Amino acid sequence: MMLKFLRLLKILRVAVQYGLDEIAIAELKKPRIAKIIDTVFFWRDLSAPRGVRLRMALEELGPIFVKFGQVLSTRRDLIPGDLVEELSRLQDRVPPFDTELAIAQIRKSLGAHPDELFATFERTPVASASIAQVHFATLKDGKQVAVKVLRPGMKKTIDEDVALMQTAAEMVERLWADSKRLKPKEVVAEFDKYLHDELDLMREAANASQLRRNFANSELLLVPEMFWDYCSSSVIVMERMHGIPVSQIDRLIEAGVDLKKLSSDGVEIFFTQVFRDGFFHADMHPGNILVSVDPASFGRYIALDFGIVGTLNDFDKDYLSQNFLAFFRRDYKRVAEAHIESGWAPKDTRVDELESAVRACCEPIFDRPLKDISFGQILLRLFQTSRRFNVEVQPQLVLLQKTLLNIEGLGRQLDPDLDLWKTAKPYLENWMAEQVGLKGMWQRMKAEAPHYAHVIPQLPRMLHKALAQQAEPAPDNSELLKVLIGEQQRTNRLLSLVIYFALAFGGGVVAVQLYLRWHHLG
């Protein structure tokens, strides 16, 4: 209890020192409180912008609060733009923990000392973050690997700090006039889930395995292999990847990498993950991306750190593809209609008014290179429009928005003249053609064939049962019997049509099955 109290005192001291109260004061229900606070804390220097002061406060409070700031930086629908821009600069500047602690964690998780498990194990970590740190090692068969070890005691630290955040969120809801829209308690709950997911390294290993399988035959992206015999919830061992960090432009140029191709490949990788797979790497900042210079895979991206991934269902993918294509074609009416049809905007929203608002947001960015536009500003304006029309921001798209901003930053580094719209439009058009054209219909028929192969043999019994039920006369009611006979005759005609259709459809399914079997044997 004493430690929690001291931690709370430190948080209050940092909040006062950096004037975090002033950030809230602007929205307080009773602004006169601002004058009182300024008088009491007259000694503070609040000359720095509020976003800078918020970032510095979170950095001083430690890695959990840094993580919280990073999560907040993705919520442009909730946080003012100047704060988001500054929070996006937060980095995990965390010193490594003692190697002996890492060795103890490995021994506890894998049942043996690293010197017994590996041919070599480097004591000095090569990377350290708030959740884990990485050591290089070599398996006994000679394969080079990276060993990721969870930072000890993280669950207790996270639980204690998140509990304090929940208390603060409750206070904000009482004091802040805009609290209903900001939903501070929901944001903290989302952050709590996000952190506890990251604490399970097996989840990260499974994410990497899925992404590697999705791009198994790709000429664009490499994903490290996971060595499952050495993986647990607190330690994972993966293939060591060699490459140049994507942010080191001079080294890439010196190695002969085509930056324009690299930038367009990045766009294709992003849209492939989103629309083909509905499973995407959601932490694509430059620190997690290398570029291979190995002759066998020269110029390919290498993805690292899979603790955060995003998923989309078929409805999300269809909705997004329609909106992206409508944006690319400048069909803002279709964008407005899609929002209303999906239920994300109220049914009574006027299409023409929403269309006009979206046009004002998006029209200025067309026919301009990436260096002259900012998706951050566009998203901010779109979110402002969303609030005006009471459009619900979907939680499953928050990570997608964050990833798109990462792609923007990466594109600015590699090829400032990249036209993201022209690069992405052909890919999306091809994807839509595959989904709604003959190829898409054929793929869906193949997927549904096993189901119908089970149902079709039951149709005669089901039809006989339905006919028998229709043919049963009502006793002692001749008028009702006449009506039923007439209904039965009409039903029989309808059922005949159904039978013909079922037989024709069944024949088609059988033909599909025969074709698939012949194709498989061939």
Q: Is 386 annotated as belonging to a binding site?
A: no
Neighbours of 96 (CB within 10 A): 17
Q: Which two tokens stand for residue 309?
A: 């991934």
**Directed axis angle between helix 420-436 and helix 259-271, to 10°?**
40
Looking up tokens 């399988």, which residue turns up?
213
Q: Is 148 annotated as belonging to a binding site?
A: yes
Q: Is 14 annotated as belonging to a binding site?
A: no
Q: Is 468 annotated as belonging to a binding site?
A: no
Amino acid, res. 34: A
Question: Partners of 310 in the beta sheet?
Answer: 280
Find out whether 345 and 339 touch, Cβ atoms under 8 Å.
yes
Residue from 283, 305, 415, 419 carrying the catalytic annotation = 283
**Which segments within 151-246 are labelled E, that is strand?**
221-222, 235-239, 244-245
Find the DSSP H helices in 19-127: 20-25, 32-40, 50-61, 63-72, 81-87, 99-110, 114-117
- Pairing mode of beta strands 301-303, 221-222: parallel
Find out whether 351 and 336 touch, Cβ atoms under 8 Å.
yes
Neighbours of 9 (CB within 10 A): 10
Task: Spell 472-502 as b/e; 16+ CB within 10 A means b.
Answer: eeeeeeeeeeeebeeebeebeeebeeeeeeb
Q: Is 130 annotated as belonging to a binding site?
A: yes
Query: How far apart, in whole angstroms, are the C-alpha atoms of residue 518 and residue 452?
Result: 19
Query: How far apart, in whole angstroms, are the C-alpha atoms of residue 253 and residue 436?
Result: 41
Name the helix (H) or strand (E) containing 443.
Answer: helix 438-455
Query: How far apart, in whole angstroms, are the C-alpha atoms of residue 190 and residue 186?
Result: 6
Query: How far apart, in whole angstroms, are the C-alpha atoms of residue 347 and residue 4?
Result: 48
Task: Spell 381-394 as b/e; 16+ CB within 10 A means b.
Answer: bbbebbeebebebe
Question: Partners of 149 in the beta sheet?
Answer: 133, 235
Q: Is 129 annotated as belonging to a binding site?
A: yes
Q: Is 131 annotated as belonging to a binding site?
A: yes
Q: Is 40 annotated as belonging to a binding site?
A: no
- Pairing mode of beta strands 309-311, 279-281: antiparallel
Query: How far apart, in whole angstroms, are the C-alpha atoms of residue 251 and residue 259?
Result: 11
Q: Is 128 annotated as belonging to a binding site?
A: yes
Find out whether 201 and 132 touch, Cβ atoms under 8 Å.
yes
Question: Partners of 40 in the beta sheet?
Answer: none
Known active-site residue 283: yes
Q: Is 206 annotated as belonging to a binding site?
A: no
Residues acting as catalytic residues: 283
Residue positions forming the annotated binding site: 126-134, 148
Residue positions forming the annotated binding site for ATP: 126-134, 148
